[in-house]
Structure 1
């Protein structure tokens, strides 16, 4: 009966890295066995490199692993027969024997085992033969037939040790694999590198004892290649670790910034650098100090589909510049600025081109940094930014006044100043009563946040017809469509005339009778008065809203003229924050023209009626308020009406 032949041992140079990885990783269990790495490395380096890695210390009498482990591995290497396939066999034996040691310890223990024989030979060669004992040892060790292998292998191995130990040190910190993925990638290279390091030591031992004459350059080439791969991963790991450490440092400082400038530096400025800021109003560069003592609207977004947001913020910027010393709710408009932080996953020529196009149209400040922001992690964590444009509002101390004012600004515009959540709540209350009225009388108006609505009516049927046609023409205009402006209109009483008196009765009922009113009550009363003035306009009236935000209470003639003259002001629709701003600017000019043609009214009823005190409404349609009685004169009171129809 014939016996099966033993499996042929592979030549290590015929194995791919993936094959070696599979074989080596199966031999590794855990890192439980103790190895005094510093002591062992110091001793080995003193023998091989003739220099110490660590400071000199008193003689060490014992360490781990013990002498018998080193001698056993040394003997196994000495007894390795000639042939590269036998080198592979011994290498796998050593890896199996050291299966419970760490990766760097496997190399270090094998190198120490090699040093036992190498150091002994080196000592005997260098010691004079006059000593009979040394001379006898030389003969026993057959020194005359042996030579010390080239030291070319020693330096690469010590570099491998250094690299693996660096990897082991970083891995022991416990960095998140998501934050430092290259550490995990490096682990794919280490078993291959350990294999070729130990195989090189086994081959060098064969040369040392004279049983073989391997070309060690073949081993060192594979060793160097594996080491180069590891170094690339370590380089990436270092960058990733630096980012993590930088993030942790920034996060610690971020919890208690000195002021807004310190806060912004943590987000956008690398340590030691002085990042310049693009000033959209001057097209010049400035630095972060421009934000000191400022409230900052921090516009955070990508580069795609942000034109509407930019135009909106351009308009806010313009409105902040109008009467900048004005104080609203205790805040000066001039103390508020806008800063854009563009977030891009990977900056390339295309992304830079997009940014430069947008940079040309913005009027506010922008961060110009064509690499990943150092504070990107803080931006995601602090502001919960994941791609949707947001506008956090920060005070001069770097504290948050509003985590995201974007929706607030879209709905209310500059009326939301100073852009706190409470300001949006106040505005909602300011107009809640009006929308409650529309629901109570069942007007059937469907309000959507991004849509404009004209609510209108009046006694002049021709004006109503003309205005309806003008709105229809406007909503279909090319410029309006290009600006993504959606317009709807509602003619009060068109289908149910009885709704008209019910609507105005409900408006009238909102007049408060109490003597002590809070500021919101006073605002509502002014709005009620303005609405009742509109009712008196002989032509008609119109209310323009955007969502629940009532943008304009308008008189018939200037409202219609504004729509009719759309060709004159259409370009401003694309330049402004929206249709309503461009509309109101033109409406205001038409209203001034109308008022100029219809000055304040004075009626004299004559002395014979001096004792008659009657209630007479101002005949000027832009006023419509009850006239003050002074002696026998009726004097118009609309001098104190809201200027230019402002509400």
Structure 2
């Protein structure tokens, strides 16, 4: 956009005109004037005085030139520091540079460079304020005299010396009315530009990593200061012409266009930066809130809303809005997700909702995380909301605590269920994994309950393998049979394993020893095709079980689950259970070798048992040539451990970052 303005300017203006120069060329010109920034100068106190003068002076101009119908706004009184000393000599020096200069863009440019040379030791913000102060002394005095001249003899005499009567003659005032108002508006805009620059200076204390938008704006401040000073120079020249008897023209419109362009750009950036800073400050506030136990309502308000924008909840089942007061002194389950959630994600929580609503002490609230709302996303939100029986919040923008949710609760796109007690203490940062594994048995969904459940002998595998994988599995488990659950990417391996394992299961020695083995091929239809519904539920359950164990002391069951997760994308994998007790997980090729070599270890089964013999022979096979495992944990699952031991060789595993497309952004448009 800036480049376009410069191109247009180069067509309109003389090639040597500053309006035809690029920002880089202007930077080259002005950086030679800058020595260092004297931070000891009290720029804030000076600007308070300048702002007060110019706001009152421009109001006086509007009142005199436009009449009594003009609206006079209240001006906030601010006081400079008591020990502030005005650098009068510096201001007079700047004023001398601006006095009685003939009109012209090149002259205004040269005058601006001369002023910048005089102010070489000041910061860029102070350069702008000092130039504006020098102008404000003259401009303020001029219009103060205009107000007082009718009632004060001294003012009337000084006004004559300042050539005020020339401008304020009714005929001249009428003739130059439009020019005076244009000048007045340009002064107001320039004051706004310098106010914005001052605001950017104040927020520059924030880290650029937190507010990256600051970087480009702060880098551009010298150019913006240049245009502000040049506009002030042009305004001083215009006043000289307006108070003269000559009718010389000096068109301020190029300055007005430029300064308004700069102003709009700064205002836009300031709005963006302030919104970002509001999130940062809210993040700090939330961290403080969570350190000190408080009522959950305070946490909820801080998490979701800015202080002036508290919204009611929506009861998704009745479509009615309800006060957030219904959460007071309740345990709250925050269901946090993007809008890319499945019916399965929602259905997981429905039994929890039914179970907890009986005693009215637990509430589920959906918090959709959307960075920028669009009409399409609002429609998607409404569709999802209609599928839920719990509460949600209506939004017009991103939630206040989005930074906290991402950084403290590790939200990376996948759904979370944060459990919080009535005092606002987090009982679990993501109970969704344990609910996927144990359902309402995991109530009240705290980390303590998770620890108890994940340490049982079944290791949670029961609910995963029973959940719709095969209709006969519940009876196999009741009868405490051995079960081979198996699957993989390679259909040939699956066929081989089915054939060899069936032969093993039918072996007379096993029959005689009353060892009953059943085979369950996970996620394969009758024609050998993948059943993605079953596979999806199975692996989501296994990964959820893995995540309930991954941050704790790794027990034998946890190691087996870790192995199984690492085999997910291999040609084949095997999970052996006795009833619902997990015995061993095997890599496809190694497990097939164990089954194929049954003749070599079958004689020991009667004496030592099937489980012991299978595990022992599998251990020999794995040592002979199985490479150590690779484990892919989706980065979106939340916090991942910094280090992990290999479940096969128990050495520390190396960490790699890989990127895998799973089409999470939807279909690609082909052109």
TM-score (norm 1): 0.57
Kindly indicate whether residue 229 of structure 2 is the aligned counterpart of residue 191 of structure 1.
Answer: no
Report what 2:37 is aligned to.
30
Report what 1:296 is aligned to.
332
Kindly indicate whether residue 533 of structure 2 is the aligned counterpart of residue 482 of structure 1.
Answer: yes
Kindly indicate whether residue 276 of structure 2 is the aligned counterpart of residue 231 of structure 1.
Answer: no
Report what 1:70 is aligned to.
91
1:222-266 CA-to-partner distances (Å, cap 9, x unmatched) read 223322322232333443444444444444444435333333232
Kindly indicate whether residue 359 of structure 2 is the aligned counterpart of residue 359 of structure 1.
Answer: no
Kindly indicate whether residue 186 of structure 2 is the aligned counterpart of residue 156 of structure 1.
Answer: yes
Task: Describe the SS at the equivalent of 1:431.
Answer: coil
Task: Describe the SS at the equivalent of 2:336.
Answer: strand
Report what 1:203 is aligned to.
234
> 1:272 Cα shift?
4.8
1:300–1:341 CA contact under 8 A, matched in 2: yes
Q: Which runs of 5+ in 2 are unaligned?
A: 1-13, 62-73, 174-178, 462-476, 488-500, 540-573, 579-593, 613-671
Q: How many residues align?
A: 472
Report what 2:105 is aligned to.
84
Tell me how far apart the structure 2 counterparts of residues 31 and 47 of structure 1 sit (CA, whole Å): 30
Over alpha carbons, which structure has the higher Rg? 1
Tell me how far apart the structure 1 counterparts of residues 460 and 39 of structure 2 sit (CA, whole Å): 76
Task: Describe the SS at the equivalent of 2:457.
Answer: helix
Task: Describe the SS at the equivalent of 2:365.
Answer: strand
Cα 1:237–1:160 change in 2 (3 A) is farther
> 1:94 Cα shift?
1.0
Report what 1:557 is aligned to.
none
1:179–1:244 CA contact under 8 A, matched in 2: yes
Q: Equivalent of 2:344, from 291, 308, 330?
A: 308
Cα 1:498–1:298 change in 2 (3 A) is farther
> 1:375 Cα shift?
1.9
> 1:445 Cα shift?
6.7
Cα 1:150–1:383 change in 2 (3 A) is same
Report what 1:619 is aligned to.
none
Report what 2:198 is aligned to.
168
Tell me how far apart the structure 1 counterparts of residues 330 and 538 of structure 2 sit (CA, whole Å): 36
Tell me how far apart the structure 2 counterparts of residues 272 and 50 of structure 1 sit (CA, whole Å): 35
Cα 1:92–1:300 change in 2 (3 A) is same
Cα 1:48–1:72 change in 2 (3 A) is farther
Cα 1:295–1:79 change in 2 (3 A) is closer
Task: Describe the SS at the equivalent of 1:150.
Answer: helix
Tell me how far apart the structure 2 counterparts of residues 420 and 498 of structure 1 sit (CA, whole Å): 45
Report what 1:420 is aligned to.
446
Tell me how far apart the structure 2 counterparts of residues 136 and 391 of structure 1 sit (CA, whole Å): 75
1:190-237 CA-to-partner distances (Å, cap 9, x unmatched) read 434433333233334445176964223332332233223222323334
Task: Describe the SS at the equivalent of 1:340.
Answer: strand
Report what 2:434 is aligned to.
408
Tell me how far apart the structure 1 counterparts of residues 534 and 522 of structure 2 sit (CA, whole Å): 15
Cα 1:354–1:90 change in 2 (3 A) is same
1:182–1:236 CA contact under 8 A, matched in 2: yes
Tell me how far apart the structure 2 counterparts of residues 486 and 136 of structure 1 sit (CA, whole Å): 91
2:316–2:391 CA contact under 8 A, matched in 1: yes
Report what 1:215 is aligned to.
251
Tell me how far apart the structure 1 counterparts of residues 456 and 83 of structure 2 sit (CA, whole Å): 87
1:407-445 CA-to-partner distances (Å, cap 9, x unmatched) read 32233333323223332333344316999xx9xxxx897
1:570-615 CA-to-partner distances (Å, cap 9, x unmatched) read xxxxxxxxxxxxxxxxxxxxxxxxxxxxxxxxxxxxxxxxxxxxxx
Report what 1:343 is aligned to.
369
Kindly indicate whether residue 412 of structure 2 is the aligned counterpart of residue 386 of structure 1.
Answer: yes
Report what 2:570 is aligned to.
none
Task: Describe the SS at the equivalent of 1:299.
Answer: strand
Report what 2:122 is aligned to.
101
1:206–1:213 CA contact under 8 A, matched in 2: no
